Structure 1
Amino acid sequence: MLNRIKPKLSFWQIFNMNVGFLGIQYSFGLQQSAINPIFLFLGAKEEILPILNIAGPVTGLVIQPLIGAISDKTWSPRWGRRKPFFLIGALMGSLCLFAFPLSPALWFAVGLLWILDVGNNMAMEPYRAFVGDKLPDEQLSMGYQMQSLFVGAGILLANASLFLFQDWFGGGQDIEGTIPKWLYYSFFIGSFLSIATISWSVLKTPEIPPTDAELEEINKHKSLPFAERFKMPFVEISHAVKEMPRFMWRLSAVYLFQWYALFVYWQFITPLFRVTMGYDTSEAAAQAAKMSTTYNVVTAVVALILVPLTLRFGGKKIYALSLFGTAIALIAIPHISDPVYVLFPMVLFGIGWAAMMGIPYSMVSKIVPQERRGVYMGILNMMIVIPMGIQTLTFGPIFKNLLGGNSVNAMLFAGAFFVIAGLLATRLNMPKDTNNPEIDL
């Protein structure tokens, strides 16, 4: 493992380097709360929502590790290592967000989702590695929890915009095949934030130049024939998976249940409120946006509070407890029919979301080699999208045939999966020696 002494950064330096996550997560917030309602507005049936969302898992599975491996072998004195990928991804996301509410038909919206997910994945994966590149080990928890703060803030803004714009500019009955005008404004704001916030971080945060040994390796890679360079990222991903620390294999088991359950929640929270509260699609989407706003307020507030708690009690304990809390929230939601009281479980969900978006990344970043951080962060995100892919392919039949086509049962199913994830998280022992990650604490 290549080691280097990295200077400590101030609070505001860490803040500035993570501002770009605001735009990425605003886009993700719209995907959580607005994309599936748009599909419903354009005539999609509830049972096909999972398969319509398969773009996220497929693009994440391919793009994130691939971009991670390529960025590990990239360096430009002018543009840096990770920044070119931020900018290209942000530009793609910005254009797609602008076009999304203008979708004339379901097939067009589904196609835009594919392109949007490619852009978001291209921006997000090297951002995770970027934090690890810049920060010494003792500041990794702060760096990734700062990302978690912006996760909460970005999704909060996205969802707050949805129900505020509906309140200000909505009204009237849903018209099948038509996207309400109040949805347009949230997407246009997201289009601006996607490129503006990434540009802020790019301009404010210089990358650390590679060491002589890293530069020699990069130049050696550049000198290879094109065919060799083309297949090299795939070879690198294959080798990294074979050599992956035991800790990451255990984390993959947690992620299988955690992310399967999260995708169920995001897809079926709007249909749930059509059942439990008798809302139409617009009203249910607005209530779902309020739920997301609530838990992301909590995430933004508690994200940095988790840093000292993690240092004192250990990432494993805080992470496992957060998953159990999220399970309680999901099991409670279907039993509450009041639109105000149903927001209270989102406090537990928000704490869980803050932990999920920060703690695993800081733990993994400490045990993987610096020169392969990009590819390992890509593999970590493969562990997210594979469960999502499994969910999109399997949950439609499960929902229809085993859960009776009832969104209440879907939410209880997700809660049970979070219980399993919490139990598996209790097995996440950090290695005693980060240079030998097979020796557990």
Structure 2
Amino acid sequence: MQSIREKPRLSFWQIWNMSFGFLGIQFGFALQGGFMSRIFQTLGAEKDAIPLLWIAAPLTGLIIQPIVGYLSDRTWHVKFGRRRPYFLIGAILSTCALFFAPYSSALWMAAGSLWILDASINISMEPFRALVADKLPDSQRSYGFVIQTLIIGIGTWIASNLPWMMTQIGVPNTAAPGVVPDSVKFAFAIGAVVLFSSILYTILTTNEYPPEDLEAFEKEKEENKGFWNGFKEIFKNISGMPNVMKKLGVVQFFSWFAFFTMWSFATPAITEHIFKATDTTSLAYNNAADSVGNYLGTYGLISMFYALILAFITSKVKINRKLVHMLSLMAGGSGFILIYFITEPWMLHICFALVGIAWASILSMPYAMLSSSVNPKQMGVYMGIFNMFIVIPQIVAALGGINLMYKFLFGEEVIYTMVLAGTSLIVAGFANLLITDRNATHDG
């Protein structure tokens, strides 16, 4: 679906500038995804309890994303625009939460820090998705989301390696029982600085298009003013979501179940299965946990290169988004399953390289398909509602879905969580066959 106004094609650097804030957002996500379970274990959490400690984050996203999307659709300021005010609010709150998270002295504090961090990042994240759809013509949507993915890949790789980098320059990597090592604290502090400065860069370098009919926009906003009217409008949009969005929801469910499993269990699974390290106070465990972060960084690095390839292709030719996404998810699923079979730690780079292919596609293709299927005037709220299909599988996983499924399907060993993640991604790949709308599956 296309706006009445013909949007001009933007240059690479214009798209880069408006997406650059995602570098900081991904620093936040990569640090929490790679190291919050390590923090939980350091503070005494049992492995099976880790998913439940993550639950506040997706629950908050389920509520915040549609509300922020709805509000940003109805925001317009001559100087600050539509989406940028939410970038700034989210950046300030996320920066504070990211800095203080590793200083938690109890599990409830760490879980609370994760909740605040994820809620704050959510305030910024979906307006960034909506901004790409706001600014780009349909023919550049895939390209725009791929550039965004390229930046996310850079952020994932650097942030995932930060504790390891800190250790290499002499920052202590062990601490007293129940205390997070300085290497992690320094990494989170650097991440906080990058998060705020990169979002500020986008705010300062990017302008936004005003509503096509400002008078009608203000009139509609006034008519729908009020708390209750806002919720009625959100629920109306949920009940009336396009069929393409529902089918993408199936793909998203299994995709994000897989990645939540990885974020929750990669550290305990790999440190135990590959490195044979279980004592969270030992140097062996903390070095192994740093290595897990390094290997997780590989999926960010490969997602960056894969995004570069997709950016080049989508700038030259039209692609079949569905086919690209299906094959990419299957590659990632194979990577997760291979973790169970490898015998040497270096082989994890191969496994997570395959995961990186899936990650790059997850962050671009579904949004390109969605943005071509919804009303441009409702882009923000639908991007927020689409987040339901990201957070619901995480809630299911956190409430016992992971623990029940990997033990029921495969066995008691925690490494089977990675096999479960791989199986889930392959199912997500096949679910793409449900999507048949050509406007969604092909570039305009």
Q: 1:220 to 1:341 in 2, by over 3 A?
A: closer
Amino acid at match of 1:100: A
Report matched runs for 1:212-223 at 5 Å: 212=213, 215-222=215-222
Secondary structure of 1:29's match?
helix
Is 1:271 aligned to 2:268, yes or no? Answer: yes
SS in 2 for 1:418: helix
Equivalent of residue 346 in structure 1, options 337, 348, 352: 352
Q: Which residue of 2 aligns with 1:377?
A: 383
Q: Secondary structure at the match of 1:107?
A: helix
The secondary structure found in structure 1 opposite 2:343 is coil
Q: Is the 8 A contact 1:170 1:182 kept in 2?
A: yes
Q: Using a 3 Å threshold, how does the CA distance of structure 1 residues 399 and 48 change in structure 2: closer, same or farther?
A: farther
How far does residue 412 in structure 1 lie from its aligned partner after superposition? 0.9
Aligned to 2:436: 429
Q: State the match for 2:420 in structure 1.
A: 413
Q: Where does residue 202 of structure 1 map in the other structure?
A: 203
Matching of residues 282-301 of structure 1 within 5 Å:
282-301=286-305
Partner in structure 2 of residue 305 of structure 1: 309
Taking a change above 3 Å as real, the CA distance of residues 205 and 251 of structure 1, as seen in their structure-2 partners, is same
Q: Give per-residue Cα distances to partners, 1:313-347, cap 9 Å, x unaligned.
A: 40011100001101110110121131212211222
**In structure 2, C-alpha distance between the alignment counterparts of 1:172 and 1:90, rounded to whole Å:** 28
- Provide the secondary structure at the position in 1 that maps to 2:387: helix
Change (3 A) 1:112 1:328: same
Change (3 A) 1:173 1:104: closer
1:315 is aligned with what amino acid?
R
Output the CA distance in 2 between the equivalents of 1:109 and 1:389.
18
CA distance in 1 between counterparts of 2:258 and 2:94 reads: 26
Using the TM superposition, name which of 100-109 and 169-178 deviates more. Answer: 169-178
Aligned residues of 2:322 and 2:435 also touching (Cα < 8 A): yes
Contact conserved, 1:37 with 1:281, CA < 8 A, in 2?
no
2:158, 2:215 → 1: CA distance? Answer: 40
Q: Could you tell me which amino acid in structure 1 is paired with residue 23 of structure 2?
A: L
Would the aligned equivalents of 2:61 and 2:391 in 1 still touch at CA under 8 Å? Answer: yes
Alignment-derived partner of residue 186 in structure 2 = 185
Stretch deviating more after TM superposition (97-106 or 275-284):
275-284
Query: Quick one: distance in 2 between partners of 1:119 and 1:359?
Result: 25
2:77 aligns with 76
Equivalent residue letter for 1:242: S
Distance 1:207 1:173 in 2: 47
Partner of 1:110: 111
Q: Cα distance, 1:418 vs. partner?
A: 1.4
Aligned to 1:340, what secondary structure does the other structure show? helix
What SS is found at the alignment partner of 2:308? coil
What is aligned with 2:281?
none
231, 235, 247: which one pairs with 1:234?
A: 231
**Pairwise CA distance, 1:175:** 3.3
| 1:234-279 residue CA offsets vs partner (Å, 9 max, x unmatched) | 2222111222111111111111111111111121111112222213
Aligned-pair distance for 1:77?
A: 1.0
Identical columns (%)? 37
Distance across 2 between alignment mates of 1:217 and 1:208:
13
Mapping for residues 309-320 of structure 1, pairs under 5 Å: 309=313, 311-320=317-326
Question: Does the 8 A contact of 1:17 with 1:201 survive in 2?
Answer: yes
Q: TM-score normalized by structure 2?
A: 0.92
Offset, 1:26: 0.5
For the residue of structure 1 that corresponds to 2:345, the secondary structure is: coil
Q: Is the 8 A contact 1:3 1:370 kept in 2?
A: no
2:65·2:126 contact (CA, 8 Å) conserved in 1? Answer: yes
| Counterpart Cα distance in 2 of 1:105 and 1:167 | 28
**Where does the alignment leave 5 or more consecutive residues of structure 2 unmatched?**
278-283
Distance (Å, rounded) in 2 between the aligned partners of 1:67 and 1:86: 11
Distance 2:358 2:163 in 1: 23
Aligned-pair CA distance for 1:34: 1.0
In the alignment, the residues of structure 2 paired with residue 131 and residue 307 of structure 1 have an alpha-carbon distance, to the nearest angstrom, of 14
Shift of the alpha carbon at 1:309? 4.7
CA distance in 2, matches of 1:242, 1:128: 22
8 Å contact kept, 1:91–1:194:
no
Whether the 8 Å CA contact 1:48–1:396 is kept in 2: the answer is no
1:25 is displaced (CA, Å) by: 0.5
TM-score, with length taken from structure 1: 0.93
The residue type equivalent to 2:395 in the other structure is: G
For residue 97 of structure 1, report the CA deviation from its aligned partner: 1.1
**CA 1:195–1:173: 2 relative to 1, 3 Å:** closer
Q: Provide the C-alpha distance between the structure 2 equivalents of 1:289 and 1:145, rounded to a whole number of angstroms.
A: 24
d(CA) in 1 for partners of 2:56 and 2:167? Answer: 27
Deviation at 1:283, TM superposition (A): 2.5
21-30 vs 102-111, greater mean Cα deviation: 102-111
* 1:337 counterpart = 2:343: yes
Q: Return 5+ residue gaps in structure 1 as ranges.
A: none
Residue 4 of structure 2: aligned partner: 3
- The correspondence of residues 161-172 of structure 1 with structure 2, limited to 5 A, is 161-169=162-170
Give 1:176 shift: 2.3
Q: Cα–Cα, structure 1 residues 220 and 416, in superposed 2: closer, same or farther, change >3 Å?
A: closer
Q: Cα offset for 1:199? A: 0.8
Instruction: Give the counterpart of 2:369 among 363, 379, 391.
Output: 363
Checking the alignment, whether the CA contact within 8 Å between 1:166 and 1:183 is kept in structure 2 is no
Distance 1:150 1:233, change over 3 A: farther
**Offset at residue 167 of structure 1 (A):** 3.0
Match of 1:261 in 2: 258
Mapped partners of 1:298, 1:239: distance in 2: 40
Match of 1:176 in 2: 177
